[in-house]
A and B are shown apart, each in its own frame.
Chain A
Amino acid sequence: MDRPHRGPAGPARADGAPVTANLPAVAAGHGTGTIIEARNLVLSFGETPALRGACLTVRRGEIVAVMGPSGSGKSTLLHCLAGILVPDEGEVWFDGQRLDTLSDDRRSALRRDRFGFVFQSGQLVPELAAEENIALPLLLSGARRGPAMTAARKWFGTLGLDGLEQRRSGELSGGQAQRVALARGLVAGPEVLFADEPTGSLDSVSGELVMNLLTDVARERGTTVVLVTHDARVAAYADREVVVRDGKVSTLTGARP
């Protein structure tokens, strides 16, 4: 299934600057529908192999759940796709560009400008108010404070958190904090959102709120989502799932019709 864009692209950066990393030219012949491709990734931590030839293709605008047992390599795969880790062997392509051969600086720029991240927990800066936490990616990208804060505040209605703009993370419930973290991952209008067990520390009701929000916003904006989860009910929000076993991606996957 080649899912089309489900809405306009994400918002421009708060300072109006184009959100583009300084990257090499696009490789010729790369599939137009593919935004991320992992080719035969191999990665070991010391003597312990984590990936053993993992392959994955993600289409633009798609929400893909990456499942698998503990220690199967699913989080390692996500980190390679996002340019956080560099595989020992294999290739990672993003939007027609080879990602794993870029310098650390260029991969950092890519992560900052074109990717968003949500992790399990403990990711908000405790000294900052909720609205400052959301604005952080914009500020780090060089946006002026005023427009960045304005952009951040617009999220509170969507998040169902009106009135909590000034709360520190310690003053938010787990579910509220995770919704703030989700907004932070999306505020810069990333092309890809990488989410690693985004509901892992939440109860089922809070987890459902976060997943509804995540998928609603992603579908509305056409954001591609790579979602690592061990929870089938979370994976059921995705368009399709892949299963990682022993460092490889199972070829058999299900998909939304």
Chain B
Amino acid sequence: MSVPLTLLGLLERGPSHGYDLKRDYDAYFGRGRPLRYSQVYATLSRLARDGKAVAGPVEQGAGPERRRYVITDVGVADVERWLAEPVPPEPDLQSELFAKVVLALMLDRPADGYLDLQRAAHLQRMRELTELKRDSDPLGVLLADHALYRLEADLRWIDHTAARLDLLARTVRQ
């Protein structure tokens, strides 16, 4: 999963400190693998260097120095492009697709459209694998079946999610 683009997506909700971005990333996408602070600040520095975010002035306070980051138009365009791009239809894509759906809902982007695109990409790959099976030996068929069943599981998740988008949107926007 792309950490920079996910952080950029979280930043699109509104100006944020690195601390808040890390907290939200860990809550939604970390799932037992939280980001390190050093990784968050290094990523934010790179985003600022590349013109995708702007770092505000250092805010002095009782604690450590803090900066507020703001996404730029270039950054917004990057997020939009990334969300609209189907994830390569390989098994085990859940984490990135999950992140895209959650961010799309947070940002009021057309999550249903993204899911449709992903669905089409998945079925296209399944057609290729089904065609491949016709000319394969039994071991080749077995291998293709393994991929087909796992892609099918993703597709079920896509359909299930598409049917519950309203509920999910209310949850992530709370």
Contact = CB atoms under 8 A, between A and B. Distances in A.
A252 B117 contact: yes
B129 A243 contact: no
Contacts, number: 45
Given A69-B159, A69-B163, A243-B116, A235 B148 contact: no
Contacts of B152: 232-233
A16 interface: no
B38 to A, nearest CB: 41
Contacts of A232: 122-123, 126, 151-152, 155-156
A256 B127 CA distance: 7
A257 B128 CA distance: 9
Interface residues of A, number: 17
A151 B113 CA distance: 48
A250 B162 CA distance: 13
Interface in B65-82: none
Interface string B122-159: 11101101100010000000000000110110011001
B55 interface: no
B123 A252 contact: no
Interface of B: 113, 116-117, 119-124, 126-127, 129-130, 134, 148-149, 151-152, 155-156, 159, 163
20 contacts: A232-B122, A232-B126, A232-B156, A233-B130, A233-B148, A235-B123, A235-B126, A236-B123, A236-B127, A236-B129, A236-B148, A237-B130, A238-B127, A252-B116, A252-B120, A253-B120, A254-B121, A254-B123, A254-B127, A256-B124
